[in-house]
């Protein structure tokens, strides 16, 4: 990794955001009533979040729908003013949106686009070159690098609206990173992309992080993005940080079970395997079952002694399952 820029850190203290939501009864009468007497209520989207990111760190920012991820990222990039607490990004206070700050960060939202729809992506890149005052030599070098890593050759001169979703997302990323920001806020950068395209976006983010030592906060509903890029995970639920730690430690917070995979030499029926664990799945000579974490070695020894086992592996449950369980039981899992 290149030496991370010293001011690419993120410091968040007791950050809060409440939205005022105006409520209206349905229908015409409801509109009239709300016109006379407006009803509103406060939605606390982020309720006092604190964390620090070191320069060059990549973290996965996870949580169920409506947990407060996008709101947090918008506050960190200065698009929303916090209702309380403080944030410092690359040494700046995001809410001030100073030009020097905007040159140090980027916010990529997979659901929104910044490229100009009717023009080729190359034109949007030139606009960004002007906005961010990127010197010609740096612009050419970055374009050459991104064209190679993202495979942009041949698509830069096509009208953006004629690009496929994947091609467009690659151009969106290139446009957003053209000024070589040191802090990246990536909100669902791979949403809707096919598996191959997700992989190339991931490879690009990894390459950029290694090349420039950038700090990255990434939200994604595709756990493969998170497991491929981040070792540290922040989990937010109902506006509060409920976990901050290693990906492996998050897996341990799951059901308390581990997955034992077996390769058998002779077929064994599921009922027999149910004596050793739960959630038994048998497919020919392959089988899988869940075993309580504290009993893995005892049960594995019994399986090996009782059955004709060619291979046995023990794994943490997939991260999707862990997240489902955590949010299913709505239990705080403080890091």
Ligand X SMILES: Nc1ncnc2c1ncn2[C@@H]1O[C@H](COP(=O)(O)OP(=O)(O)OP(=O)(O)O)[C@@H](O)[C@H]1O
Q: Which residues bind ligand X (CB under 6 A)?
A: 19, 21, 43, 45, 63, 65-71
> Would you say 276 or 327 has its CB closer to ligand X?
327
Contact (CB, 8 A) for 17 and 82: yes
> Would you say 70 or 77 has its CB closer to ligand X?
70
Q: Tell me the pairing of strands 39-53 and 10-23.
A: antiparallel
Residues in the chain: 335
> Would you say 47 or 179 has its CB closer to ligand X?
47
Q: How far is the CB of 173 from ligand X (least distance, A)?
A: 19
Cα separation, 153 vs 155, in Å, equals 6
Q: How far is the CB of 74 from ligand X (least distance, A)?
A: 8
CA–CA distances in Å: residue 287 to residues 251, 272, 284, 293, 308:
22, 12, 8, 18, 12
> Would you say 129 or 220 has its CB closer to ligand X?
220
Where are the alpha helices (H) located in 111-246, listed in sequence order? 121-131, 136-150, 165-177, 195-212, 223-229
Contact (CB, 8 A) for 64 and 237: yes
- Token pair listed for 245: 């730690």
Backbone angles phi, psi at 88, to 5 degrees: -130, 130
Q: How far is the CB of 180 from ligand X (least distance, A)?
A: 26
Cα separation, 171 vs 124, in Å, equals 9
> Would you say 16 or 179 has its CB closer to ligand X?
16
Angle at Cα 85 formed by Cα 82 and Cα 86, nearest 5°? 85
Q: How far is the CB of 332 from ligand X (least distance, A)?
A: 17
Q: How far is the CB of 80 from ligand X (least distance, A)?
A: 8
> Would you say 75 or 177 has its CB closer to ligand X?
75
Q: How far is the CB of 35 from ligand X (least distance, A)?
A: 20
Q: How far is the CB of 46 from ligand X (least distance, A)?
A: 7
Q: How many helices (H) and strands (E) does the chain have?
A: 12, 13
Kind and range of the H or E run holding 326 = helix 319-329
> Would you say 114 or 238 has its CB closer to ligand X?
238
């Amino acid at each position: 990794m290149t030496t991370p820029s010293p001011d690419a850190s993120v410091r968040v203290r007791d950050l809060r955001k409440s939205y005022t939501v105006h409520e209206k009864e349905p229908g015409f009468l409801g509109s009239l009533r709300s016109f006379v007497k407006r009803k509103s209520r406060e939605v606390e989207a982020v309720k006092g979040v604190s964390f620090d990111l070191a320069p060059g760190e990549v973290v996965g920012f996870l949580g169920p729908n409506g947990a407060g991820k996008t709101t947090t990222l918008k506050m960190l990039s200065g698009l929303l003013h916090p209702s309380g607490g403080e944030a410092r990004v690359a040494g700046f206070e995001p809410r001030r949106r100073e030009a020097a700050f905007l040159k140090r960060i980027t916010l990529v939202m997979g659901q929104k686009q910044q490229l100009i729809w009717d023009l080729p992506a190359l034109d949007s890149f030139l606009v960004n070159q002007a906005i961010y005052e990127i010197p010609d030599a740096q612009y050419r070098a970055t374009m050459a690098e991104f064209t190679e890593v993202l495979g942009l050759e041949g698509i830069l001169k096509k009208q953006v609206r004629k690009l496929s979703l994947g091609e467009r997302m690659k151009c969106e990323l290139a446009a957003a990173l053209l000024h070589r920001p040191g802090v990246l806020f990536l909100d669902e950068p791979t949403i809707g992309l096919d598996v191959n395209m997700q992989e190339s976006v991931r490879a690009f983010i990894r390459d950029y992080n290694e090349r420039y030592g950038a700090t990255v906060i990434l939200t994604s509903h595709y756990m493969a993005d998170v497991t491929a890029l981040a070792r540290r995970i922040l989990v937010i639920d109902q506006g509060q940080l409920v976990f901050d730690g290693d990906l492996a430690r998050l897996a341990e917070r799951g059901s308390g079970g581990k997955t034992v995979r077996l390769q058998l030499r002779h077929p064994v029926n599921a009922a027999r395997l149910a004596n050793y664990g739960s959630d038994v799945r048998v497919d020919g000579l392959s089988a899988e079952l869940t075993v309580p974490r504290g009993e893995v070695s005892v049960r594995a020894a019994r399986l090996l002694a009782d059955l004709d086992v060619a291979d046995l592996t023990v794994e943490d449950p997939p991260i999707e399952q862990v997240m489902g369980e955590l949010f299913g039981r709505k239990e705080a899992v403080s890091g």
